[in-house]
Structure formats: C-alpha cells, structure tokens
Amino acid sequence: QVQLVESGGGLVQAGGSLRLSCAASGSIFSQNAMGWYRQAPGKQRGLVALITSGGTKTYAPSEKGRVTISTDNTKNTLYLQMNTLKPEHTTLYYCPVLAHGTTGWDTTDYWGQGTQVTVSS
C-alpha cells in the first residue's frame, strides 16, 4: 500500500541545480524517516540525506552545504534540492522509507522507481 514516486530528475550542466521530488502515499512522513539515496547499477547505494519524522536532518559529509532535504507534509512530498552538480552525481536517485535499527538508520523495502539525474561536463 505504500507508494513512492520520485521525479524531478533530468539533464543538467555541471554546476547547475535540480530539485527532486518524492510523492508518497498516505501520511508516511508523519510516522517515518525518509532518505534520499543515489545508486547506480552494480554499485552500492549511498546516502545523500535523510530526515526524521520530527524534522531532524542529516547529510552525508560530502553533501552537506550542497544539498537540502525538506518535506511538505500537506502534500506528502519529500524534496531534495541539489546545487553545484557534478558529473559524478549522474545516477538514479531514490527516496526509501527508513527504519531505525540498533546501529542506526536502515532502508526498508519501500522504494520508488527512482529518478534519473544526468550531469554533463
């Protein structure tokens, strides 16, 4: 019943910006932490940013200052504003629901189809 739809990706030149959106079914954000991850085929997924149900934000050290995660609870939409994009940021971006385990935050089985970001040189 949980549905997540990522959008907002596209082609952008290096140094440009994009805002990704993640539309979720129900009131997921009020009860769950959400994350933005990037994952290329055959590669490990990497955390870009996460936000808890209470609004606490965490960024990967390499992303802090470059990206901003936010939510609009009235629209059940999660956003990721990305600035100063580089070619190495080219990949699929996902917004999985997160669950807190004993060692930290973990991704759940709830993912969307991803949105493709392509950064040209």
**How far is it, in rounded angstroms, from Cα 102 to Cα 3?**
26
Kindly tell me if the per-residue pLDDT of 57 is higher than 90: yes
DSSP 28: G
| pLDDT tens digits along 67-97 | 999 999 889 999 999 999 999 999 999 999 9
- Asked if residues 38 and 45 have their Cβ atoms less than 8 Å apart, the reply is yes
| pLDDT tens digits along 6-45 | 999 999 999 999 999 999 988 888 889 999 999 988 888 9
For residue 100, give the 3-state DSSP assignment. Answer: strand
Task: Please tell me the predicted confidence (pLDDT) of residue 27.
Answer: 80
Task: Please tell me the predicted confidence (pLDDT) of residue 49.
Answer: 97
How does residue 102 score in pLDDT terms, banded at 50, 70 and 90?
confident
Which residues are paired to 59 by β-bridges? 49
Kindly tell me if the per-residue pLDDT of 64 is higher than 80: yes
